[in-house]
Each structure stands twice: as C-alpha cells, then as structure tokens.
Amino acid sequence: MENNQDIEKLAIDTVRILSADAVQKANSGHPGTAMALAPMGHVLWSKFLNYNPKNPDWVNRDRFILSAGHACILQYNFLYLTGYDLSLDDIKQFRQLHSKTAGHPEYGLAPGIDVTTGPLGQGFANGVGFAIAQKHLAARYNKPGFELFNYNIYAITSDGDMMEGVTSEAASLAGHLQLGNLIYLYDDNHISIEGSTDIAFNEDVSARFRSYGWQVQEIADVNDTHALELALINAKSETQKPSLIRVRSLIAYGSPNKSGTAGSHGSPLGADEIKLVKKFFGFDPEKSFEVPAEVLKYYNGVGAKGEGKEEKWNKLFADYKAKYPELAAEYELASSGGLPEGWKDKLPVFKGSDPKMATRQASGKVLNAVAASLPNLIGGAADLSPSTETNLKEFDSFTSENRNGRNFHFGIREHAMGSAMNGMALTKGVIPFGATFLMFSEYMRPPIRLAAIMKISPIFVYTHDSIGLGEDGTTHQPVEQLASLRSIPNITVIRPADANETTHAWRVALEHKGGPVVLVFTRQGLPILDQDKYGKADGLEKGAYILSEGSKGPDLILIATGSEVALIMEAQAKLEAEGISTRVVSMPSWELFEKQDAAYKEKVFPKASRKRLAVEMASPMGWHKYTTDEGDMLGMTTFGESAPAEDLYKFFGFTVDNVVKKAKALL
C-alpha cells in the first residue's frame, strides 16, 4: 500500500509540474487551477471514469466535461498519460498554431474531448443535455440483462461557472428531471481574475444546489484523495438526484509565492517560481516536462483497462443484437447518423388551393408526419410549444418518471435549452430540436456559436420571425437577428416562404451534417404557392431558385425570403401588367445557395441582370452581395412598433405598391 501511495503522489505531482511547464512554455494560460486539481483528475482518470483511449468514441464511455475550460492543460495531461493519441510533444505545443492542445478544450481537435468548452457555464449546461440523452437511450434500448447505456456524466466546474446564469437554468432543470447520472465536482478555490471571489460572490452555493434538488457533498481539501473517492462513490450510488461535490482547493498549490493568489489564475508562474515549485515537490528544477517512467507506466496501465471494458460491452451488444435485432439495427443506423428508409415518403405536400397557413403551423404538421418514422428525433420548446407548434402529438413528455418521452419541456430557459441541445447532439443516436421565438435566439447565442464551432447539428427552431408578429411590439419583433445568425460560420439559416418550402426545410435540416441548422418560421398565415404553376419547393435545397419567370428576359429580379415572397409575387404581377418583365427568386437560405456551383448561381442571378430588389423584413446587412451595386434592398433600418401586422406593413413600406415603386426606381 505504501508503494501504491508513493506512485500516486508522484503521479499527481508530475501532473502539477507538467501543467506549470506547459503554460510557461506557451507564455500563456491558466496554471493555478490545473496544479490545484491534479489530485481530483487523478482520482477520476485512475479510479472512476470508464473510457478506452484506443477508441475515444466508445458509446458507453463515461462523459467528462471540463466546464472550467481554462484549466484544459489538466485534461490534456491525463489524456496523454493514460494513452490517448496525444504525445508529450503535443503537451509542449500547448496553445500553439495548429496544435491539438488548444487554449480551451475543443471537440474534434484532441481525442477524448467530449465537448468544446470555454465560455463559463456552457460545459455545465452541456452535461445536462448529455444526461438527458443517456437516460433517453437507456429507456429505449436497455432490456433486462442488457444494460447497454449506463454511463455517467462527470464534470469539473469552477467558481466562474457558478456565477454564470446558464448554470442556474441548467441546474434547476437537472434537479427537476432527477438526472442522477450527473456527477459534478465544484472547484471552490475562491479565486477569479480580479482577486478573491468575495468581491462579487458570497452566496451559499451548497444551499442553492440543495434547493434545486441536488445531492451536495463537501470536501475540505482536494488533496484528500480518500475523501474524494468516498464522495464519488456516494454520488454514483445516488441515482435519483444529480450530485455536486464541493471541493476546497488552493490555487497553484506548491507555488511558494503565488499559491492562493489571482496571479496564478491566468498567467504563467514565471521561470524562477517554477523552479521553486519543482523543489517543493522534489523534482529537478533544471528539467522541464519531466515524466518519470514509472508514472507513465502507471497511467498507461490504467488506460489500458479500457480496452477490456469495451470488449465486454461489445460482447453484450452482440448478444443484444441476437435477441433484439430490430432495436439493435435501429440504434446502429441512428448512431451512424443515418435515417431510416422511407421516412421522406411521410413528408406532407400542400396544395395551392389550401387555405393560408403560417409556416410555424406547416412545421408542426411536418414534425408530426415524420416523428413516428424517426424515433431518434426528440425535442421541445422553452415553454412555447403551443406557439411554436413543436409538440409531437402522438408521444409522451420526457419526465423524471418517463425517460422514453420525446417531448421536452425546457421551461423558460432558452440559454440552457441551447446548451443542453448541444450535449444531446453530441450523443450518437439522438437528433435534438428546440424552439422559441426568433427574438429570443439572443438568449442562445453562446450555444449556437459553439455548435457551429463543433460542426454538430442540433436544429434550432425559431418562430414569430418579423414585424408580422404585430401587437407584441418592439421588444418581440426581430430585426437584426437574421443578419446576426447568418454571420456565424458553419451555420445554415433557412427561412421558408410557404408550407411546401417548410417541408423541404425540415428535410434539409434532418439530413444536414457539419453544423447547426436554424429554421425560421412565421406567426402569420401565408398563401401556399401552387406547385403546378411555379418553381418546385424542393429548390429550397439549393438555397435560392427561380420561383416565377417573367414574360421575357428579366428587366428586374425580385428576391425575398419567408413571408415576403408572397409580397413580391404580387408585385411581379403588377409590374408585368405594366410591361416590366420580372423574375421572382425565393431565397430561403444564403448558406445553401453559396454551396452551389457557378453555373447554377449564374442561372438564378445572371451577371448581366444587375437590376435587383431584395425584400426582407429584417436588417439589410449583407444583402448587397446579391442585389449588386445597381440594386436595392427593402428592409428594416429601425426597430418595429406595436400595432396590428397590416398597419405595420403599411407604415414600414412592405406593400405591393411600395415594392413596385422601388423596383421602377431601379429602372
């Protein structure tokens, strides 16, 4: 036992010094937290986490989230030491261009990173989504004797996480849903960048989390690894409540002059101080990146056990597949990112003779038409499913009693909804969607951006998309949101013009890979464009298509998205009556259009046809790319007003007469 304790102490101290060395070499980073939490990381990676370094994507591995992403050198060190495809040279390249070891953990960059964190609170809330997804998979696929999905979600969180509002939203939701598969370690080190946390933060975090319905334990010293082990055992045995283990640590433990100070939080310790740290722990102060052979052997041995764990699970799944072949096949397809054959046959087609229909209503019809064929499609709204039409009518709600439900009630927690959706989207076999009003995408910007960075594909559904919202007024009428969302790399924004375009918007969203899709729908009813008379709605998949051609080569091209397409169709008729040949282009998605080849782009927007008018009840920012220097854009350059929609259209100039007037001005 003494020998074991000796190697564990040496292993922990090695991680502390590696962390300090890496930050010092980079001349950038956060050494203090990593140094302090080495014992916590040691206990997790050597005794509790189930993982296989040879297959970081093993589906029943425990998930680990470093919500305190600034301390990522801690995670990188354990990934390297336990045998992931990460080398000591990668540790030495911390924070350098094109290295695997970025300044915060990035999904897809280094193996073993389950989610991109950095903005504080995001990892905490992502974990709630991971936990929901695990519970849902277990409810659908686990059978007696076949516990396929029983993994836990572990996270290390910080004082900064506790201060961010998204943590409160997510913690409240997790407690309500009794997500007992969440085990969070809270590094209570009392230090932030500006100094002691008591300059801004003195609440009783333990009491707060107990009020949310969490199990809370407290440990006085992170160096007490035995106490950490006991607390983690207790957390694993508590299956009805999420667990928070509050652990007191001393930032930059081992640094004679900087431990316990803000100076060790976000800056290198300095070469002289690191020598003192090495002396404190009995290492050679003249050596850097020193990894004793026995430490590497110890951690490699711990990591190697994961291969056997996965082999055992693979045998279990093979037996499951023999007994439950249909469920096994369903999961294999879903986890591969595939969709069942025939699901598109369920997509509804709407007739031009049908009454007007809001695209949010059409969206609800599409969702409910395909839901039975897509068992891995799950989601809900931020207390707005009746308004966003996102309720799956034939399915139950996901609750603490019913994990098989497919309707989620996120509550009025848009930020946590978006972050949880990212955790769900990172779980193979789940396609999540979440809905609110377009205006409240503002509350979700961090998770939308992170989904785009990770190139994962949650489906964000936004309704009530313009001044057509009407009487709710300025605060609820989006103006700048479309331009803002379109500015994000790797995102696909789709604003369909009618019910049939809405069908194809969902088709594209469900098949899309490589980033989130934003679906934008109207509150107000819109005419359904006759598929026998005008361009086919499946042209939506190309981002823009010719909806209606003029009587001859176009004198003018009218372009619009969403509800404004019906407006320019009326304007086209009036212009044609006056002898002005006009092409109408429906342009639901800039991003999809930009993926098309030059020939298609030339077909829709001939270079010779530079008289173009775009119409969209939103900020004009960005439209000049398509309207050219000889065109114009009718948009919103102010906020909206509170009034009936028809009055607003007249006031802001979204009328047939005004579109015709602006079109003629171009000629």
- The residues annotated as belonging to the active site are 414
Closest among 548, 545, 623, 635 to 583, alpha carbons compared = 548
Amino acid at 360: R
Closest by alpha carbon to 554, among 533, 568, 537, 539?
568
Cβ-proximal residues to 43 (8 Å cutoff; 6+ apart), any chain: 225, 228, 229, 232
Strand runs labelled E in 350-395: 377-381
- Sequence-ordered list of residues with C-beta below 8 angstroms from that of 606, at least 6 positions apart, any chain: none
Q: Which pair of tokens denotes residue 323?
A: 């007994």
What is the C-alpha to C-alpha distance for residues 167 and 208, in angstroms, rounded to an integer?
Answer: 12
Write phi, then psi, for 287 (nearest 5 degrees).
-105, 145
Classify 164 in phi/psi space as left (phi over 0), alpha (psi -120 to 50) or beta.
beta
Distance CA 297, CA 265 (A): 31
593 contacts 542 by C-beta, under 8 angstroms: yes
Which residues make beta-bridge pairs with 546? 585
DSSP H or E segment with residue 436 = strand 431-437
C-alpha–C-alpha distance, residues 483 and 485, integer Å:
6
Contact 424, 186 (CB under 8 A): no
Residue 505 burial by CB count (10 A; 0-12/13-18/19+): exposed, middle or buried? buried
How is residue 46 annotated by DSSP?
Answer: I
Do β-strands 517-520 and 153-158 pair in parallel, antiparallel, or remain unpaired?
Answer: unpaired
Strand partners for 192? 195
Look at residues 248, 244, 165, 246 and name the one whose alpha carbon lies nearest to residue 212: 244
Cα angle 435-440-441, degrees, rounded to a multiple of 5: 75
DSSP-derived 3-state class of residue 459: strand
Strand order in the sheet with 459-463: 407-409, 377-381, 431-437, 459-463, 517-520, 492-494
Residue 495 three-state SS: coil
Q: What DSSP state is assigned to residue 143?
A: B
Asked if residues 22 and 282 have their Cβ atoms less than 8 Å apart, the reply is: no
Burial profile 251-267: b = 16 or more Cβ within 10 angstroms, e = fewer:
bbbbbeebbbebbbbbb
Amino acid code (one letter) for 661 = K
For residue 254, the SS3 value is coil
How far is residue 525 from each of residues 359, 522, 617, measured CA to CA in Å?
Answer: 7, 7, 16
In the three-class reduction of DSSP (H, G, I as helix; E, B as strand; rest coil), residue 557 is classed as strand
Point out which residues pair with 520 in neighbouring strands: 462
With a CB cutoff of 8 Å and minimum separation 6, the contacts of 330 are 340, 375
Q: How far is CA 454 from the centre of its chain?
A: 8
Residue 645 tokens, joined:
């929609």
